Every structure is written in C-alpha cells, then in structure tokens.
Amino acid sequence: MSGNTEDPLAGSSMDVDRAALRHHGDVEAQPGLADFAVNVRADRPPRWLRDRLVAALDKLGRYPSAQDDADARASAAARHSRRPDEVMVLNGAAEGFALLPALKPRLAAVIHPSFTEPEVALTDADVPVVRVLLDDHTLASAEVPDEADLVVIGNPTNPTSVLHPADAVRALARPGRVLVVDEAFADTIPGEPESLAGDTTPGLLVLRSLTKTWSLPGLRAGYALGAPELLARLGLRRPQWPVNALVLEAVRACCEPGAVAEAEAVARALEEHRARFAKALGELPGVTVAEPARAPFLLLHVPGASVLRERLRTKGFAVRRADTFPGLTPDHLRVAVRAPDQSAPLLAALRELLEETTP
C-alpha cells in the first residue's frame, strides 16, 4: 500500500491540533491509578543509580565544567563505539527535538504514527511539515518527498511498537538531508539489533534517552549522536551550561559497561513480558494487537476504545488514548508492558468490561 500524506486532523483548528499533539501519557497517569499509560519501566531509578545521583549532589555548588561534560560524552561515546565529539548531552531526547529548528530545514517530513513532539517543535518554528502516514506501520509504505531536507522517524516507533530494519531507515538518508532517528526505546530491545547509534551515515542524527529503562522522567537525561558539525549546528543557540550536574552524572553512569549489561537483562525480561501480555490481550473479545511488536508497549485496536478507557479509569487503571497520534483513531489505545503480576488485574478488568459490551 502506498503512503498517505493527508493530515488526519485536517478540519480542526491549529490550536486544537497542537493540543492533541502535546497530549502524552503522563496526563492519563493520575495518582491512585495503576499506570499503563506511561512507558517508563519503574516508579524510581534502581538503587545504585540513585546512590550515584545522591553522591553527585555536592557538585551542585559549582557550575558544570568542561571536564564534566567531556566525561559524560566519553562514556556515551564508548558505549556506542564513537568519538566524544560525536556526542551532545541533552536534557532528555525531547530537547533534541526542540533544537531541530536550529537546523533551518526548508521542508520537514515526520513519519507517523509516531511521537508527536518533533512535529510540535517544527511547526511552532514555522517550519513546513509534511506528515508521511504509514498505512501498515512499516516503512514499505513510506512516501517521503524528495525535497524534504529533514526527516524524523522513531525506531522502535511509539506508539506502534514496530522496529524498522536498520537498512530501511538508513535508506531514507540523502545528500543534503538530516535524518533524525528517535531511539528513545532502543535499549529496551535485547541486543539493540536495528540501532543506528554507532552508524556514521552522512546527515544521520540519533537521539537517545535514559528515561525509559532507567526510570528518570523527572531528571530529563539523554544525548544526541552525530557528526560534530551537525551537532554544532543543532546546539548553536543553547545557553551556557545547558545541562546540570545530575544529568551529566546520569549519562556517565548509565553508559558504563555494568549498566549496559543490566539494561540488556531488563530488555530480555521485557521481551518475555510483552509476548505474554500481547497473547493475553489478543484473546480478549474485540481486541486486535498491532504486531509484530518489539517495544515495551502495545498498540490496541478496540471498537469503542475511548469509552473503554474512561471505564477503565473508574476501575483504577490508566491507559493511553492513541487518537492524538496522526494516523490513528478513537478506537486505538496504547498500553505499557508490565510484569505479569501487574498486568493480570488490568487483563481481568478489560475482560469484564468487554464481555459486558459483547453480544
């Protein structure tokens, strides 16, 4: 099937469209609800990482130094077999998206359904954006305009949980084009098989996050990987001391070999949990699970999903509405993968609600 660049939100006002694009799972995950709306592994970082961050608190009495930044970049560079000057430490991958307008693209193409912050950042900066909607959630249906000099894609993609082949993603690169690959969830897949983090394709910019695996959404820590001249353009208007001492310590700590090994073990466990969860969800009446899924979340198609989501809230569960992702509908939901003992109550609540509405 061929790709479609029609805007599924056309007809609504720009303000409403922007509000939809700025909707994220944290809005759904209110206190007191079992959280299946946010794709963060746990409710706090592991003990060893908390200890590292606590020890770094004494650094808050001075400005982050060039050496602090160099140490963090060296750790990330070693993790991905790159040079330190090919790393830029960020306040989360989201800062990388916010910086994209500094690249001054003439036309940006955002491949959807996907994380919506890149489109928000670009449109807010008056950069023309074309949406490339994937009919089957795979790149085989992508029709990226040749004139697009900036292309954004997630891999694995949020919310579809699709992992695109590295060769297919790399094939989107062109002379004079910046190819931005959002790899916020790459470390949740055992072996990171399709990651381009160590790739030096011209124009490639890879964004990585520590938020998901290391449960650090409140810190905002990540980094960008790319050619030094590309990173220099990206960060041209950043302020002095752009990231704080705790972010630098987190990047350094989470890129060390022991942490990478721990992340791999976590990814293997998540893979088992996802397979079990997907099978159970697929056996519920009216539920279709988007497959193949590789990330720690699942996209569901359920008739009447918007009503179902609200009824789940009354039973104590938060799941993510997915109609705010271009290309999806009110009949879509996204659910985070949790351990079987955590997901069992949600499955029971879903079964009860769906059987009530199934003839």
Question: pLDDT for 301-313, tens place per residue?
Answer: 999 999 999 999 9
For the chain, percent of residues with pLDDT exceeding 70: 95
Element at 15 (helix H, strand E): helix 14-21
What is the mean pLDDT of the segment spanning 41-52?
96
pLDDT number for residue 217: 96
DSSP-derived secondary structure letter, 292: S
Q: Once rounded to an integer, what is the mean pLDDT over residues 238-261? A: 97
**What is the average pLDDT across 208-226?**
97
Q: Residues 37, 320: contact at Cβ < 8 Å?
A: yes
**How would residue 2 be classed by pLDDT, with cut points 50, 70 and 90?**
very low
The β-bridge relationship of strands 297-301 and 288-289 is antiparallel
Going from the C-alpha of 59 to that of each of 13, 45, 90, 246, 248, the distances in angstroms are 47, 20, 18, 8, 11
Residue 14 CB: number of other CB atoms within 10 A? 9
Say if strands 297-301 and 332-336 run parallel, antiparallel, or are unpaired. antiparallel
- CB within 8 Å of 58: residues ≥ 6 apart: none
- Sequence-distant (6+) residues with CB within 8 A of 68 are 59, 245, 248
Distances (CA, A) of 131 to 10, 57, 97, 243, 250: 12, 43, 16, 31, 34
Per DSSP, the three-state class of 40 is coil
Dihedral pair phi/psi, residue 255, rounded to 5°: -100, 0
What is the percentage of the chain residues whose pLDDT exceeds 90?
A: 90
Residue 12 in this model has a pLDDT that exceeds 70 = no
User: pLDDT class for 15, splitting at 50, 70, 90?
Assistant: low
The pTM of the full predicted model, rounded to 2 decimals, is 0.93
How far is residue 5's CA from residue 18's CA, in Å, rounded to a whole number?
A: 18
Give the residue-averaged pLDDT of 127-145: 91
Q: Does residue 151 have a pLDDT over 60?
A: yes
How distant, in Å, are the alpha carbons of 60, 275, 347 from that of 293? 41, 9, 18
Over residues 45-53, the mean pLDDT reads 98
More confident residue, 210 or 5: 210
Q: Which helix H or strand E contains 132, and what residues bound it?
A: strand 129-133
- The DSSP letter of residue 34 is E
| Mean pLDDT of all residues in 189-213 | 97
Q: How confident is the model at residue 359 (pLDDT cuts 50, 70, 90)?
A: low
Give φ, ψ of 249 to 5 degrees.
-65, -40
